[in-house]
Structure 1
Amino acid sequence: MKTENIEDIYELSPIEKGILFHSLYTPEFGIYFFQMPFVFRGHLNLTAFEQAWQQVIERHTILRTGFYWEDINKPQQVVYRQVRVPLEQQDWRDIDLESQQEQLKSFLESDRKRGFDLSQECLMRLTLICLSEDFYQFIWSRHFLIIDGWSVPLVLKEFVQLYEGLCQGENVSLVPSIPYRKYIDWLQKQDIASAETFWRQTLSGLKTPTFLKYLDVENLSSQKEIYEEQRIYLSPATTDALQSLARQHHLTLSTLFQGAWAILLSRYSCENQVVYGCTVAGRPIELVTEEPIIGLFVNTLPVWVNVNPEQSLLVWLKQLQEQLVEMRQYEWTPLVDIQGWSEVPRSLPLFESILVYENAPIDRVLRDWQGSLEVENATIFSNSSSFYKTNYPIAIAVYPGSNFCIGIDYDFRRFDTATITGILQHFEILLQDIVTHPEANLKDLSLLTSKQQHLASKLEKEVAFNFV
């Protein structure tokens, strides 16, 4: 570490500490490593491209930050004054299309295996691959320690503005950025005693997590952790209906999807009270200003909800939303503290599933790019691996768009392919039934298609007739 290049040193946020621990404890699993690939078509100004990324890194301290933990009492993050943009360029123009696709798959895999040295000066890297004349594959790889999903569109928007300005020879005036340290200082001023009182009351009576099906519980510790992913896309009609229902009844889309998952958990566990984790943006209202602040704010919190089968769906959803809003004032609370304040034994997890509603406008920033380049395949999914990796047995991620996408990332030791396929099917059917019968009671919502319901009704009548 060259001390003359150090700008600042300060401690980690509780979220950073947790992710640092999991990253060091299971480095071979690639947890919290993210790849964002997309394609540029058009004349690319390489000089402006590199300079724009360099200016973005210079603007935000967290993009010039490394982490240290060895031989010190507490882990520290070190901000460096000067860091060069880690841009790697490759030329694949002499390779045919089929070979390019295979080579890209191989590159993405090796890039994930390469990972990051968490003490290095910049925990992200950029790769620009020329596939043909005016046709480029771009991969942005980064570690979750330095940037969460909400920060991604802020970074991309700044890059686009700076790139277009450099191409046109214009000076782009961006609002001053706020260093991530300001969030650390804000955290240290929060009333942890009030948070403890809130979470103890909220989770009072919760003694065990909502358990999910395991394939082989006895041999979990001896098996290698393997994460797989499946996803489905809802139809445009169902997507429009969900958005309409949310607007009409003043519900957030996140509430709708969380409600659906809670109902599924209740059906699967045969319990009326279920607990799952949900991710929150974690950005304090006090720090939300016109100036961008890039870093890791997102947090995962427990949602313990009573799924009363006799209750009206809409009434229940509004109560759930009120519960989620109430949690916002303490959404900064470290999950490890919440676990300690609950009645769930330390030997057990607080929950075994999480739901992520990814409403950060990443795709929109790229689609709305009005300039010399066209962006294609702008997606937050990697074509060869799951995008959203966690250390939970099952993570449901919902991605908005013209067709809602629901992805499930799961531990293959605990769930087989057929089980996850069934969960996704139930999720889709339940959402369709919610928009079709919003006035129904929870017990009347079905997990069967209309064809399956007809068959079940027919079999029920036949059985009844045989007993007459």
Structure 2
Amino acid sequence: IERMRQVGLSADVRVLFGQPTLAALAAAVGRHDNQEVQVPANLIAPDCQRITPDLLPLVALSQEAIDRIVASVPGGAGNVQDIYPLAPLQEGILYHHLAARQGDPYVLQAQFAFDSRERLDDFSLALQGVIDRHDILRTSMAWEGLEEPVQVVWRKAVLGVEQMRLSPGDGDVAGQLKARFDASHHRLDIRQAPLMCIRFAEDAPNRRWVASLLFHHMALDHAALEVVRHEMQAHLLGQAGRLGDAVPYRNYVAQARLGVSPEEHEEFFRDMLGGVDEPTLPFGLQDVRGDNAVMEETRQDVAIDLSQRLRAQARRLGVSAAALHHLAWAQVLGRVSGREKVVFGTVLMGRMQGGEGADRALGMFINTLPICVPVGGRVRDSVLATHARLSGLLGHEHASLALAQRCSGVAAPTPLFSALLNYRHTSAESITLHMSSAWQGIEALGGEERTNYPLTLSVDDLGEGFSLTVQAVTGIDAARVGAYMETALASLVEALEHAPENPLADLSILPATEREELLVGFNATQAEYPLAQTIHGLFEAQVQRTPESLAVLHRGQRLSYRELNERANRLAHYLRKQGVKPDSRVAICVERSLDMVVGLLAILKAGGGYVPLDPAYPADRIAY
């Protein structure tokens, strides 16, 4: 998209991604206008002493509200560069920040090790250099007393770097540091800029320093982290002067707020979601708040042969590999939620229509929006329909999730979906720190990314292969879900290759091992059983073995095997006197109790067959 802009070409993104071939794409370029929003200029001068409503073209605020916001910023008006609204996903993240009873699911953590304190200082200074360049990293959030939340860009924001005193005697120092700032209980004050900090400690036993970089997802998405890494490397190498001009985040906010109208968004989502009146809740998972949830994560590489076959089928049908993964994920979610109209969240890059330079800008560009994927059609038709739906969704990547849900038949606060798919292109370089002299003495120890959703699948498109990362709340086997997904992909490719007209519902998501367990293992119920013995005869044998053991317990009342047998015998003798003989049908209408068990055994001992009646049945049915 950026290269097309540079040569003066434009294309509507929906048309662009709807083209089945490169020839069709070439024909579409230049024939459709994708008019960018003209971004209003920032009118706040560097020496401004008082900010007034006319200086804020992107937001409507009263003078009283502006003064209150400015008073919360260190340095006052002289340190306020801009004020504007939140982007769509920022609004959702703020909601979860405020709703979380403890912790914050969107505080992310990356851990590093340094061979010296000097290298840690170099790292911190390089990050401060990036903060100084990019407005989103000098941004705080304000919402209290306002009609809508806003973000406030500071002219100067200093990275907080603090040493923690940790004892090696309490365990691994890096592990202690990570646990202390775990998102399940730790929060960042998002009313202060920057929305990141460094907490570090000396790890004397390992002759190193370890640090946790904490940052809020409201400021950075996955692609933005790559820009941060690239620019930090330039600072570490002393080449910061070669970096181009930073792209203001306000440009994206303007595109999102002033581009496609809410009415157009609503028309699209009503068409897609209007017939959806039940949520898609895999495994019954309904809690999408995400606070305090303990997550399990597993990662697996898709077999290279399967990856190549997926790409071959995508090329043959003129669709994206992402469409195949979306359809396979819909199959998995449909099976584990019992739904044929499957809805889940998909992460959109947000940079397609983010304005010029969006590919190298920092900020929260991504957005999560629902996609409805019917799984009741034929295989080939379902692939094409999923691709078309994804293409259409790209044109509405700036819509808010709240607007989209309102267009469905699922009324809030019930969530429309509780599972997410994040399809992202990941270069090998982005998996580890770049192997250059800039990073000598610095080692990435790992990090964590999570969302508020209880079930998330991240698909990393590695150029040739794919990898699948599943995050699931404790109690849902993440590895098992990953195996379902890979099996669904294999079944889908097999059908596209040999039987594209077959029903999608016929494809399996069960790995061979689980299928064997379900069909064979769970049905291996053969056991030696005394066929000549009756049920009450087996019971009486147990009475002989353990007469005083507990046989029945109900609401604090208990009977041993001996007591139960004696009571059942007395009732059986009574029934025989009443004419009960073998094959007599004896109705028993008793609430669940000790008497129910006594009655059932007595009927059997008398030779009858019991007919259970529920006291809740209608009176005429009981009488019959």
Which of the five TM-score ranges fits, normalised by the shorter chain?
0.7 to 0.9
- For the 8 Å contact 1:176–1:291, the answer to whether it is kept is no
In the other structure, the counterpart of 2:62 is none
Report the CA distance between 1:224 and its aligned residue.
Answer: 8.2
The alignment partner of 1:330 has SS state of coil
> Does structure 1 residue 139 correspond to structure 2 residue 207?
no
> Does structure 1 residue 152 correspond to structure 2 residue 225?
yes
Percent same amino acid among aligned pairs? 24
Point out the more displaced range, 237-246 or 146-155.
237-246
In the other structure, the counterpart of 2:510 is 448
- 2:496 is aligned with what amino acid? P
- 2:172 is aligned with what amino acid? E
The alignment partner of 1:175 has SS state of coil
Report the CA distance between 1:445 and its aligned residue.
Answer: 2.4
Q: 1:246 to 1:144 in 2, by over 3 A?
A: farther
| Rg larger for | 2
Aligned pairs for 1:324-403 (under 5 A) are 324-361=390-427, 363-364=429-430, 366-374=432-440, 378=444, 381-382=447-448, 387-390=449-452, 392-400=453-461
Structure 2: 5+ residue runs without aligned partners? 1-71, 525-624
Report the CA distance between 1:6 and its aligned residue.
Answer: 1.9
- 2:147 is aligned with what amino acid? N
In the other structure, the counterpart of 1:6 is 80
The alignment partner of 1:195 has SS state of helix
- 2:294 is aligned with what amino acid? Y
C-alpha distance in structure 1 between counterparts of 2:136 and 2:428, whole Å:
19
Aligned pairs for 1:313-324 (under 5 A) are 314-324=380-390
| Residue among 58, 80, 88 paired with 2:154 | 80
> Does structure 1 residue 406 correspond to structure 2 residue 478?
no
- 1:397 is aligned with what amino acid? S
- 2:484 is aligned with what amino acid? H
- For the 8 Å contact 1:153–1:365, the answer to whether it is kept is no
Q: 1:280 to 1:35 in 2, by over 3 A?
A: same
Q: 1:436 to 1:371 in 2, by over 3 A?
A: farther
CA displacement 1:106-165 (0-9 Å, x = unmatched) = 211212334211111211012455546885534321111111122111111111112112
C-alpha distance in structure 2 between counterparts of 1:19 and 1:372, whole Å:
34
RMSD (CA atoms): 3.6
Q: 1:445 to 1:203 in 2, by over 3 A?
A: same
- 2:180 is aligned with what amino acid? S
> Does structure 1 residue 183 correspond to structure 2 residue 259?
no
Report the CA distance between 1:211 and its aligned residue.
Answer: 3.2
Point out the more displaced range, 50-59 or 283-292.
283-292
Report the CA distance between 1:303 and its aligned residue.
Answer: 0.9
Q: 1:246 to 1:283 in 2, by over 3 A?
A: farther
Q: 1:85 to 1:203 in 2, by over 3 A?
A: same
> Does structure 1 residue 231 correspond to structure 2 residue 298?
yes
> Does structure 1 residue 111 correspond to structure 2 residue 181?
yes
The alignment partner of 1:423 has SS state of helix
Report the CA distance between 1:352 and its aligned residue.
Answer: 2.1
Point out the more displaced range, 284-293 or 203-212.
284-293
C-alpha distance in structure 1 between counterparts of 2:248 and 2:149, whole Å:
19
In the other structure, the counterpart of 1:209 is 279
CA displacement 1:51-71 (0-9 Å, x = unmatched) = 321210011111111112223
The alignment partner of 2:425 has SS state of coil
- 1:405 is aligned with what amino acid? L
Report the CA distance between 1:180 and its aligned residue.
Answer: 1.3
Point out the more displaced range, 36-45 or 365-374.
36-45
CA displacement 1:196-250 (0-9 Å, x = unmatched) = 21211122311121233338x8xx89x9852321314135435644664466445
In the other structure, the counterpart of 2:343 is 275
C-alpha distance in structure 2 between counterparts of 1:187 and 1:286, whole Å:
7
- For the 8 Å contact 1:234–1:428, the answer to whether it is kept is no
CA displacement 1:400-419 (0-9 Å, x = unmatched) = 55661321232x4xxx245x
Point out the more displaced range, 174-183 or 225-234.
225-234
- For the 8 Å contact 1:60–1:179, the answer to whether it is kept is yes
Report the CA distance between 1:187 and its aligned residue.
Answer: 2.5
> Does structure 1 residue 197 correspond to structure 2 residue 255?
no
Q: 1:360 to 1:67 in 2, by over 3 A?
A: farther
The alignment partner of 2:193 has SS state of coil
CA displacement 1:417-453 (0-9 Å, x = unmatched) = 45x5543332232233334553343234223344666
The alignment partner of 2:496 has SS state of coil
Q: 1:403 to 1:46 in 2, by over 3 A?
A: same
C-alpha distance in structure 2 between counterparts of 1:180 and 1:303, whole Å:
27
- For the 8 Å contact 1:157–1:365, the answer to whether it is kept is no
Q: 1:369 to 1:126 in 2, by over 3 A?
A: farther
In the other structure, the counterpart of 1:465 is none
C-alpha distance in structure 1 between counterparts of 2:375 and 2:111, whole Å:
40
- For the 8 Å contact 2:119–2:442, the answer to whether it is kept is no
Q: 1:150 to 1:100 in 2, by over 3 A?
A: farther
Q: 1:201 to 1:345 in 2, by over 3 A?
A: same
C-alpha distance in structure 2 between counterparts of 1:279 and 1:180, whole Å:
19
In the other structure, the counterpart of 2:44 is none
Report the CA distance between 1:253 and its aligned residue.
Answer: 3.6
C-alpha distance in structure 2 between counterparts of 1:9 and 1:455, whole Å:
59
Q: 1:336 to 1:362 in 2, by over 3 A?
A: farther
Q: 1:101 to 1:435 in 2, by over 3 A?
A: farther
The alignment partner of 2:81 has SS state of strand
- 1:71 is aligned with what amino acid? G
C-alpha distance in structure 2 between counterparts of 1:111 and 1:398, whole Å:
27
- 2:468 is aligned with what amino acid? C
CA displacement 1:300-342 (0-9 Å, x = unmatched) = 1111111125x12x44223211210111111110111111222
CA displacement 1:268-312 (0-9 Å, x = unmatched) = 344322111111111243514277321112111111111125x12
In the other structure, the counterpart of 2:172 is 102
Report the CA distance between 1:46 and its aligned residue.
Answer: 4.8
Q: 1:40 to 1:65 in 2, by over 3 A?
A: same
> Does structure 1 residue 306 correspond to structure 2 residue 374?
yes
- For the 8 Å contact 1:41–1:134, the answer to whether it is kept is yes
In the other structure, the counterpart of 1:124 is 196
- For the 8 Å contact 1:363–1:379, the answer to whether it is kept is no
| Residue among 481, 488, 511 paired with 1:430 | 488
In the other structure, the counterpart of 1:466 is none
| Residue among 30, 37, 57 paired with 2:131 | 57
Q: 1:48 to 1:335 in 2, by over 3 A?
A: same
C-alpha distance in structure 1 between counterparts of 2:231 and 2:438, whole Å:
16
Report the CA distance between 1:74 and its aligned residue.
Answer: 2.8
- For the 8 Å contact 2:196–2:213, the answer to whether it is kept is yes
The alignment partner of 2:258 has SS state of coil
In the other structure, the counterpart of 1:68 is 142
- 1:72 is aligned with what amino acid? L
> Does structure 1 residue 25 correspond to structure 2 residue 99?
yes
